[in-house]
């Protein structure tokens, strides 16, 4: 009964979101596209960062590769959009596997640092390959169909979320959580940790690259600086952590709430928007370091004391 | 889960409610989204200041006359935080919600590229002075116009001058940094050089922010070229000149895309800055007459008095954008965007920035003025109409200075 209601509510939410282009204004639809894409990125990061416990700072590399897959296929080879999506996703997954094998041996801060430079390295490589338009960038043919981009992004987010949901009830997902909690312990229990970690990294890369592909076609221009933007990686981590890493809906809620806050700030107090956004993030980290999802679980029990407890527990 | 879903729906509806901003009244509203914060905010501010400054000036003179109605100009400006996605959204918002009449551009080519798709989609003309890339104008868009001199033609006037020098240089070395803009400059310069009959003896790309030019300079020395054309950034060029001195590499002429017109460049190099050629898209000279400001020198002076810093070509280009829209609206006799678009395409007027007239693709064809440092002072030596001041040519060897 309870789960039937949940499924009904989820379906209703999806239907309402899918219908948005028909009743929302152009700006809302564009806001929807970039929020959905950010939510996909946060969800993708959730797989490697939230469930597996490997804080990757390299996910924007996959985003960039996916974007370049579409741009190269459409501009240089005159192929349709979906071929580019497949090409970009293939590049990202291959890259994730090849790179994951050595890098995923590192843990904690070392892993974060190793992935931090990735985006810059790949950007430097790409800017020397003529096929990728070097530093000049590639201009894609414009397609004025925001509704299509919106539905594509929504479908992608749905796919990513269902995958994460599947993680919470599959052997693979439990394996990842075991790795996060105690990697040696997981290995002793018979989890093939290397295989699991690399697969999680590749899965994370797959969704990030597909988001990149949609973004490239939508914005119609791509250069190394915009494709391999490190601040994008920071954004997706903030959103996932804000919503609650290692939960199914946390990253989505984080992406939507933070995008909405940032959007309202940037059109209402246009000059100091960045400052206010920073305050929101700092307040979130101090008051609710385990994300919105954690509040939902604990707020009922401890009420407003929840925030006070957090400040005490994580004394800075 | 249901609570999360509710939150999601709530956030979206909240956003819907906040977006229904009031429409603007009787003024002729120009909309723009520029970088006021973020990595390129430094240059983005020039555009904000130039737009506001020019709009105020035009309003002081009574505004613009459209048919028999008098309009005041107004500006609706957003900060895009140096974020391309956000700027695209803000331009959509400007057109669909704020109902602005016409558009001014953002700074930088990648922004102009993305935003031009919006002006094209809604068929509202955008005059932008912040993107010089030829790619913006290669898509056959009808509603985008640009007032920055095209990257491909940066060395155009220098090469025209080189043909008239005596003895004319023959072999040329082309050096350029590996970023988007300088690669475009090199790409455009190659055909200009070969068409003018020069041989390109050396064609080398180097890494942006490089500080060691010794190997590049030895190649220049070995090739024994007459002229060096270099597209790069100011620090690289400073290092290049310093190391050219220590290796005593002295071609008959060297010219640099940036740095030479700035005072810092002359201060940093002292006497060694002499003989260096450069270019400027805009010099605040009294020869550039303007309907609202009188001339470019008066514009520069008033601008500096108001904002506390001297305007450069970015600011002048931004001011020209506003003037182009004002002129076009007057010529069209209506504020209908499509009619104004056609009027912009036909524009041809003198401004503080130079003659504003757009080519078939929407890009201005503005000749760079060749400048040279002569005895520590900046001299304009060659412009669209030939020599201005006599260039000091050829450059003597370093020990003969």
- The per-residue pLDDT for range B212-234, each reduced to its tens digit, is 999 999 999 999 999 999 998 88
- B13: which chain A residues are within 8 Å (Cβ-Cβ)? none
* Buried/exposed B194-210: b ≥16 CB within 10 Å, e otherwise: eeeebeebbeebbebeb
Give residue B213's pLDDT. 93
DSSP secondary structure letter of residue B189: H
pTM of the model: 0.79
* Count of CA atoms in the C-beta half-sphere (13 A) of A176: 26
- Asked whether residue A241 is domain-assigned, the answer is no
Q: Which residue of A has its CA nearest to B177?
A: A135
Distances in Å between the alpha carbon of B18 and those of A37, A269, B78, B94, B99?
22, 13, 16, 15, 16
- A135: which chain B residues are within 8 Å (Cβ-Cβ)? 178-180, 183
Cβ–Cβ gap A9/B12 under 8 Å: no
Distance in angstroms (rounded) separating the CA atoms of residues B220 and B223 = 5
Q: Which residue of A has its CA nearest to B186?
A: A136
CB B174, CB B200: distance < 8 Å: yes
Give the one of B18, B21, B113 whose C-beta lies nearest to A139's C-beta.
B113
- Asked whether residue A38 is domain-assigned, the answer is yes
In angstroms, the separation between the Cα of residue A13 and the nearest Cα of chain B is 7
Peptide bond into A113 cis (omega under 30): no
Neighbours of B297 (CB within 10 A): 17
Distance of CA B226 to the CA centre of its chain: 29
- Asked whether residue A48 is domain-assigned, the answer is yes
Q: Which CATH superfamily is domain B2-149+285-356 in?
A: Response regulator (3.40.50.2300)
Distance in angstroms (rounded) separating the CA atoms of residues A32 and A34 = 6
**Least trusted range by pLDDT, from A172-186, A300-314, B90-104, B188-202:** A300-314
pLDDT, tens only, B143-157: 999 998 888 888 999
Distances in Å between the alpha carbon of A243 and those of A168, A251, A284, A289, B283?
17, 5, 10, 10, 53
Structure tokens at A277: 């956004």
Cβ–Cβ gap B2/A5 under 8 Å: yes
Distance in angstroms (rounded) separating the CA atoms of residues B142 and A114 = 47
Cβ–Cβ gap B1/A221 under 8 Å: no
Residue B364 has pLDDT above 60, yes or no: yes
- B114: which chain A residues are within 8 Å (Cβ-Cβ)? 219-221
- B1: which chain A residues are within 8 Å (Cβ-Cβ)? 6, 9-10, 248-249
Alpha helices per DSSP H over B106-205: 109-122, 156-164, 180-195
Chain B from 1 to 30: CB within 8 A of any A CB:
1-5, 7-9, 11-12, 14-16, 18-19, 21
User: DSSP E strands: which ranges in A82-176?
Assistant: 138-139
- B144: which chain A residues are within 8 Å (Cβ-Cβ)? none
**Least trusted range by pLDDT, from A211-215, B19-23, B186-190:** B19-23
> Is it true that B2-149+285-356 and B153-280+367-400 share their CATH fold?
yes
In angstroms, the separation between the Cα of residue B118 and the nearest Cα of chain A is 9
Distance in angstroms (rounded) separating the CA atoms of residues A180 and A164 = 15
Residue B12 has pLDDT above 70, yes or no: no
Best of A1, A6, A8, A30 to mutate (most B CBs within 10 Å, chain B):
A30
- A271: which chain B residues are within 8 Å (Cβ-Cβ)? 36-37, 79
CB B213, CB B240: distance < 8 Å: yes
Distance in angstroms (rounded) separating the CA atoms of residues A273 and A264 = 9
Distance in angstroms (rounded) separating the CA atoms of residues B102 and B335 = 9
Chain A from 245 to 274: CB within 8 A of any B CB:
248-250, 252-253, 256-257, 260, 263-264, 266-268, 270-271, 273-274
- Asked whether residue A270 is domain-assigned, the answer is no
Confidence of residue B13 (pLDDT cuts 50, 70, 90): very low
B13 vs B294, higher pLDDT: B294
Structure tokens at A220: 């119609």
Q: Taking the domains of chain B in order of start, what are their residue ranges? A: 2-149+285-356, 153-280+367-400
pLDDT digits (tens), chain A, 316 positions: 578 888 899 899 899 999 999 988 888 898 999 899 999 999 999 999 999 999 899 899 999 999 999 999 999 999 999 999 999 999 999 999 999 999 998 887 888 888 888 888 898 898 888 888 877 788 888 887 889 999 999 999 999 999 999 999 999 999 999 999 999 999 998 999 999 999 999 999 999 999 999 999 998 888 888 889 888 888 898 899 888 888 999 999 999 998 898 888 877 776 677 777 788 878 887 777 778 877 777 777 777 777 777 777 766 5
Q: Which CATH class is domain B153-280+367-400?
A: alpha beta
Residue B6 has pLDDT above 50, yes or no: no
Distances in Å between the alpha carbon of A277 and those of A273, A281, A283, B157?
6, 6, 10, 47
In angstroms, the separation between the Cα of residue B212 and the nearest Cα of chain A is 19
In angstroms, the separation between the Cα of residue B187 and the nearest Cα of chain A is 11
Radius of gyration of chain A (CA): 20
In angstroms, the separation between the Cα of residue B391 and the nearest Cα of chain A is 34
Q: How many CB pairs under 8 A join A and B?
A: 138
Give residue B5's pLDDT. 44
CB B147, CB B324: distance < 8 Å: yes
Report how many domains make up chain A.
Answer: 1
- Asked whether residue A169 is domain-assigned, the answer is yes
Range B298-325 average pLDDT: 92
> What's the sign of the alpha-carbon dihedral B304, B306, B309, B315?
negative
Give the one of A10, A16, A266 whose C-beta lies nearest to B81's C-beta.
A266
Give residue A107's pLDDT. 82
pLDDT, tens only, B59-76: 999 889 888 888 999 999
- Whether ipTM tops 0.85, in short, is no
- A253: which chain B residues are within 8 Å (Cβ-Cβ)? 4, 7-8
Residue B11 has pLDDT above 70, yes or no: no
DSSP secondary structure letter of residue B363: B
- Asked whether residue A287 is domain-assigned, the answer is no
Distances in Å between the alpha carbon of B13 and those of A3, A155, A217, B18, B144?
26, 21, 27, 9, 34
Distance in angstroms (rounded) separating the CA atoms of residues A132 and A69 = 9
- Domain span at residue A72 reads 2-230
SS3 of A311, please? helix
SS3 of B168, please? coil
Closest CA to B367 of B382, B347, B349: B382
Give residue B8's pLDDT. 47
Give the length of chain B: 401
Distance in angstroms (rounded) separating the CA atoms of residues B97 and B89 = 11
Q: Measured between CB atoms, does B138 come within 8 Å of chain A?
A: yes
CB A218, CB A68: distance < 8 Å: no
């Amino acid at each position: 009964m309870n789960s039937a209601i949940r499924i009904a509510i989820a379906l209703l939410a999806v239907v309402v979101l899918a219908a948005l282009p028909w009743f929302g204004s152009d700006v809302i639809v564009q806001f929807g596209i970039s929020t959905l894409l950010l939510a996909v990125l946060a969800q993708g990061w959730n797989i490697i960062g939230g469930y597996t416990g490997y804080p990757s700072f390299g996910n924007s590399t996959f985003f960039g590769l996916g974007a370049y897959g579409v741009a190269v296929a459409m501009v240089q080879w005159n192929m349709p959009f979906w071929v580019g999506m497949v090409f970009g996703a293939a590049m990202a997954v291959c890259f994730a596997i090849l790179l994951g094998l050595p890098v995923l041996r590192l843990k904690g801060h070392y892993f974060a640092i190793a992935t931090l430079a990735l985006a810059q390295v790949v950007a430097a490589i790409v800017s020397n390959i003529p096929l990728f338009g070097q530093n000049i960038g590639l201009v894609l043919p414009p397609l004025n169909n925001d509704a299509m981009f919106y539905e594509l992004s929504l479908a992608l987010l749905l796919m990513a979320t269902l995958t994460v949901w599947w993680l919470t009830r599959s052997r693979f997902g439990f394996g990842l959580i075991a790795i996060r909690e105690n990697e040696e312990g997981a290995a002793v229990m018979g989890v093939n940790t290397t295989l699991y970690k690399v697969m999680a990294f590749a899965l994370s890369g797959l969704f990030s690259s597909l988001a990149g592909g949609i973004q490239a076609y939508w914005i119609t221009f791509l250069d190394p600086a915009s494709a391999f933007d490190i601040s994008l990686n920071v954004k997706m981590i903030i959103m996932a952590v804000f919503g609650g890493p290692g939960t199914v809906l946390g990253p989505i809620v984080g992406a939507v709430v933070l995008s909405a806050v940032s959007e309202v700030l940037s059109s209402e107090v246009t000059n100091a928007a960045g400052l206010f956004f920073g305050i929101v993030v700092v307040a979130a980290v101090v008051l609710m370091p385990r994300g919105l999802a954690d509040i939902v679980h604990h707020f009922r029990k401890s009420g407003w004391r929840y925030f006070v407890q957090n400040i005490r527990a994580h004394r800075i | 889960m249901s609570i999360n879903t509710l939150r999601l729906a709530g956030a979206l509806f909240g956003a819907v409610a906040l977006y229904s901003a009031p429409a603007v009244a009787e003024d002729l509203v120009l909309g723009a989204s520029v970088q006021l914060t973020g990595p390129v905010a430094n240059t983005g501010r020039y555009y904000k200041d130039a737009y506001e400054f020019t709009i105020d000036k035009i309003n002081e003179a009574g505004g613009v006359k459209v048919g028999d109605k008098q309009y005041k100009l107004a500006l609706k400006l957003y900060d895009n935080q140096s974020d391309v996605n956000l700027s695209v959204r803000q331009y959509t918002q400007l057109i669909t919600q704020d109902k602005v009449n016409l558009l001014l551009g953002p700074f930088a080519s990648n922004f102009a590229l993305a935003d031009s798709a919006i002006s094209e989609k809604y068929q509202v003309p955008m005059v932008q002075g912040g993107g010089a890339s030829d790619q913006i104008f290669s898509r056959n868009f009808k509603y985008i116009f640009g007032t920055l001199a095209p990257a491909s033609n940066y060395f155009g006037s220098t090469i025209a001058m080189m043909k008239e020098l005596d003895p004319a240089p023959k072999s040329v070395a082309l050096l350029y940094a590996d970023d988007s803009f300088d690669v475009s400059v090199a790409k455009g310069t190659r055909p200009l050089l070969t068409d003018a009959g020069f041989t390109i003896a050396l064609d080398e790309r180097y890494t942006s922010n490089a500080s060691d030019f010794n190997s590049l300079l030895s190649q220049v020395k070995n090739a024994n070229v007459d002229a060096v054309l270099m597209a790069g950034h100011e620090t690289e060029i400073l290092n290049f000149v310093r190391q050219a001195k220590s290796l005593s590499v002295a071609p008959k002429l060297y010219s640099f895309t940036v740095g030479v017109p700035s005072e810092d460049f002359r201060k940093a190099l002292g006497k060694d800055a002499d003989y260096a050629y450069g270019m400027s898209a805009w010099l605040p000279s009294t020869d550039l007459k303007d309907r609202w400001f009188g001339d470019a020198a008066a514009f520069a002076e008033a601008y500096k008095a108001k904002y506390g810093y001297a305007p450069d070509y970015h600011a002048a280009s931004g001011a020209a954008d506003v003037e182009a829209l004002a002129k076009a609206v007057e010529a069209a006799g209506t504020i209908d965007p499509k009619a104004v678009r056609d009027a912009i395409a036909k524009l041809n007027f003198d401004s503080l920035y130079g003659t504003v007239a757009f080519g078939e693709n929407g890009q201005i064809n503005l000749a760079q003025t060749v400048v040279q440092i002569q005895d520590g002072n900046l001299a304009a030596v060659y412009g669209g109409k030939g020599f201005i001041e006599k260039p000091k040519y050829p450059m003597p060897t370093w020990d003969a200075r």
